[in-house]
Every structure is written in structure tokens, then in C-alpha cells.
Amino acid sequence: MTVTLSETDVRTCEACWTAPVTAARVTEDGRDLLCAMCAAGDYPRRVDLFPPLGVYGLSARRIEMGKHGSGSPKTPPDQGPPLPNPKPTTTPGRPPV
């Protein structure tokens, strides 16, 4: 089966990401470009890089929140050990340890 690819189509299988595209599977969401092994095994695509919102991992909730939807920045829950007081002195000629 020969698959005609446009300039914007991927050239690597969308299921295994290693083999070149040799088959296309038409689904309700569009066209899956797969290698022969993945098409014969009916493997699913591993990830949608550009879903309807445009960028992988971007949800409608994040879009509606705006630039700083959760308010002002907050300190992390675990800030680690306190800094030494007074600051340790450095030894001339040797990097601090």
C-alpha cells in the first residue's frame, strides 16, 4: 500500500516512532500514519502532539485561567534546610566545598 504524504505529514510511525510511514489508518479523529508492523498489529498512536487546543498538554482550564490564574506566587511546601548563619568563609586559593 502506498501512502501519499503531504509536506506537513510526519515521516516516522506515530505508534512506534522508529520505522518510516508505510500505511495510513483512517479513524473518526483523522488519519494515523503508521509503519507496516504497527498497522498490522492495530497499535494505537502514542501521543497527539497537536490536539484541538494546539499544544500537547494544554487544557481548556489552563487557557481560561489567564497568565496568573492562581494568584501571587507561593513558596514551595518543603523549603529544605535553613541557610547557615553566619555565612561560611571561603578559603583563598581553594574553591568552597
H or E stretch covering 26: strand 23-27
The span from the CA of 48 to the CA of 10, in Å, is 12
- pLDDT tens for 39-54 read 999 998 876 665 555 5
- Taking the CB of residue 17, how many other CB atoms lie within 10 A of it? 13
Q: What is the CB-side half-sphere exposure of residue 44 using CA atoms within 13 A?
A: 4
- Percent share of the chain, pLDDT over 70: 65
- pLDDT tens for 46-76 read 766 655 555 555 555 545 555 555 666 677 7
Per-residue pLDDT, 97: 62
What mean pLDDT do residues 6-12 have? 85
